[in-house]
Amino acid sequence: MKKFNISVWLVIIALFTGLQTYSQESNNVIGKPDLKLTSDVMTPEVLWSFGRAGDIQLSPDKSTLLFGISYYSIKQDKGNRDLYSINLKSDDMQRLTETPFGEYSAQWRPDGNKIGFLSAESGSMQLWEMDPDGSNKIQISKVDGGITGFKYSPDQTKVLFTKEVKVNPNIHDKYPDLDKTTGRVLTDMMYRHWDEWVDTYSHIFVADYNGNQLSHPIDIMEGEPYESPMKPFGGMEQISWTPDSKTIAYTCRKLTGVKYSESTNSDIYFYSLADKKTLNKTKGMMGYDTNPVFSPDGRFVALESMERDGYESDKNRLFVMDLRTGEKTDYSADFDQNAHGLTWTDDSKHIYFTSEWHGSIEIYRLNLKKSKIEEITKGVHNYGTIIPNGKNLIATRTSMSKPLEIYSVSVKSGKAKPVSHVNESLLNQLTMGKVEARWVTTTDNKKMLTWVIYPPHFDPNKKYPALLYCQGGPQSMVSQFWSYRWNFQMMAANGYIIVAPNRRGLPGFGTQWNEQISGDYGGQNMKDYFSAIDSLKKEPFIDENRLGAVGASYGGFSIYWLAGHHEGRFKAFIAHDGIFNLEQQYVETDELWFANWDLGDPFWEKNNKTAQRSYANSPHKFVDKWDTPIMVIHSAKDFRILDSQGFAAFDAAIIKGVPAKMLWFPNENHWILHPQNGILWQREFFNWLDKWLK
C-alpha cells in the first residue's frame, strides 16, 4: 500500500474512531497508562497501551520539537491525542495539552510565537492557537462543517485550509419532499472510495489571517468535482506555499467517474493569489505527481513523480523543477529505488529523503550541484519524517521490536541517539524476540531476504510452530515496521516463529524484482513463499508438522491461493481482507487502475493472454483442493476489497466441509482501528492458530 501522511490520517482516524469525542458519561482524559506488567511478553492489551507518537515539527529557531502522542482506552473503546514538546538543548519534555477533545496537525506559526493545531473542542474540527508553553489557547477559525488541515503562509498574512465541500446535488436536493429516504441513484463509478461514500470533495481554501482569526475565505477549487489532498491517503504534504506567499501548489487528479477510477495521473497545480488563475505545472507527466516542496530560496520545487499512468506502485522518482526556466530534472534516473518525504536544507543545496532498501527504510541525501545521491544511514530500522537541523537530522524511527520514537541523526556518521522516550517504561518491562535476516535461495536461483522472528526466551532445543507471513500491497516491502495489528513481536510472544519473506513484487530490491508480480498473480511470488517456508522448516527448532500461514489484503489473496496449492505443508490458515474471486474483484473494486495494471485488464478480454493467466489463477478456482482449516476476517466498510469476498471464501470452506471460522466487523475498513475490535482480532487470531498448531 502506498505511503500516506500521518498528520492527516490521524485526523481521519479521529473522526472515524471518535478519538476527539468528549464523553458526557466520563470526564476522564485518556493519557499515558501507568502499567506494571505481570509478564515480560507481549499481550494484545499491552500492544494497545503503547503511546503512538508522530507528526514532528521543529520550531523556527531550531530549539524545540513539537509532536503528538495518542493513547487508547480499551474500556472506553477510543483514544485521545495530546501535544508535547522537547527542548533539544536540555532534553526536557513538556506536555502542552490535556483535554478530552484531542489535538491534531500541530505546527509552529512562522514567527515561532504560537502553535496552531486542530481541535474539536467547539464541536467540529477548527484551528486553534496557543503559546509555545501550552497557555493562552484560543479558537482561530469558525468554519461551517469544520476543517481537515491547514498551513500558514510564510509571511503569516494568510492561512490555507482544507474542508469537505458538496459539489454535486444529492437525492434530497432532487426530491426535497423525501427528506427521510436513504436511496442513492448512481450514474458513474467512484461513488465510493476505500471506506466512504463519495458525497463531498476535499477543497482548498485561503483566508486572511490577522493573528486572532480567519476572514474572507476563498475556495480556490470552487465548483470543481475534484479533491485535494487526494483520497484516501493524501495529506497536507500534497499542498505547499511558495516562500514569497504568492502561490499555492497543490496535488490533484482532475478526473471523474470511470476515468478517475482507471487513472493515477495526478498533477501539480499552481494557484496564483494575485490573479486567481490556476496552472498545471506537470502536464504531460502521466503518473502520480505529488508532494511539491519549494526550496527556501524560491527557485526550485521538488516533487515525487511516477512515470506511468495506471501503475500505483511505479518507481517514485525525485524530480526538481527550475521555476525560472521550467526545466524538470529526474535526479533519481540512475537510482533504482524510490524516493519519499523530500525535505530541503536551509541553503537550498541538498534534499533529504527516505528510501526502501533490503528490508529497511534509510535516509539519503541528494547533492543538487553534483547530481549525486548518498546514503546517510544503515541499519535494521525504518526511518520516517526527516527535519534538517544543522549537522544533525531530527527523524522518526521504528523497528519490528520498537514502536515509533524520535531520534537525532548525525549527517556525517549516520549514527542516531534517541530524543524521545515515549514507550521506554513499557519496553523496559518486555522481552522482545530476536529478529534475524536470512537470505533464502528461490526456485529461480535468486537470493531473497526473509526475516525470521523468534519467540522471547527462545530455546534452540525446543520445537516451535511457525507462521509464514504473507505481505499485502502487493508491492509493499516487509520492512522494519511496527504494526498494531500485524505485529511480529505479538505473534512471537504467543510461541510462534515468524517467517516473513520479501517475495517477488516488493520494493527495495530493484525495479525488476518489484515489477515481476504484475500479471503474474499465483506465479513466481507464490513459489517464493514456498522457498521461504521450505528452507526454514528444515531448522531443528521448527516443527514442520505445525506450520501455519497468515496474511491480509494481497496477503489474504495469497492465503486463499495457498489453500489450494500447498500440498499439505500447512495445518492452518488465516486470511484478512483477501481477494477470493479475481473476476468478482474486478467489477467490485473502487480503483480500477490497480486491477487493470496488475491483472492485465478485464476478465472478458479473451484474447489478452496476461489477463486470462491472471484470472485462471483466481483462488476460487481451486477450492476443490481445500482441505485445511481456514479463518476468514473481513469488514463491512472495506470498499477496496468488499466483504463479499470474505463471505464467499468462508461459505466455500463450509460447503466443502473444511473447518472454518469467520470474524466480521460492521464498523471497520481495510484495517482494524477500534481498541476493542483490535483486541478481539488478536484473541480470535491466536485462538484459531493455537487450536490447530499447538
Catalytic residue IDs: 553, 638, 670
User: Which DSSP symbol is given to 132?
Assistant: T
CA dist 364 and 507 (Å) reads: 16
Cα Rg, the chain, nearest whole Å: 25
Number of residues that make up the chain = 694
CA 688 remoteness from chain centre: 28
- Contact partners, residue 465, CB within 8 Å, separation at least 6: 495, 496, 497, 542, 543, 546, 547, 548, 689, 693, 694
The burial class, CB within 10 Å (0-12 / 13-18 / 19+), for 216 is exposed
Backbone region of residue 341 per phi and psi (left: phi > 0; alpha: psi in -120 to 50; beta: other values): left
CA contacts within 13 A on the Cβ side of 306: 20
CA 85 remoteness from chain centre: 25
CA dist 349 and 45 (Å) reads: 47
Secondary structure of residue 501 in the 3-state scheme: strand
- Among 109, 155, 107, 103, residue whose Cα is nearest residue 126: 103
- Contact partners, residue 334, CB within 8 Å, separation at least 6: none
Contact criterion met (CB below 8 Å) for 529 and 670: no
Strand 435-441: give its sheet, edge to edge. Answer: 435-441, 447-453, 497-501, 464-470, 542-552, 572-576, 630-635, 660-665
Long-range contacts of 394-397 (CB under 8 A, 24+ apart): 394/56, 394/58, 394/65, 394/88, 394/419, 395/363, 396/53, 396/54, 396/56
Contact criterion met (CB below 8 Å) for 599 and 582: yes
CA dist 86 and 89 (Å) reads: 9
CA dist 556 and 632 (Å) reads: 9
- Contact partners, residue 627, CB within 8 Å, separation at least 6: 658
Secondary structure of residue 618 in the 3-state scheme: coil
* Amino acid at site 315: K
- Contact partners, residue 173, CB within 8 Å, separation at least 6: none
SS3 content of the chain, % helix, strand, coil (to 5): 20, 30, 50
First-residue to last-residue Cα distance in the chain: 33
CA 651 remoteness from chain centre: 31
Q: At what angle do helices 524-536 and 554-563 cross, to 10 degrees?
A: 70
Beta carbons within 10 angstroms of residue 201's beta carbon: 18
Cis peptide before 465 (omega within 30 of 0): no
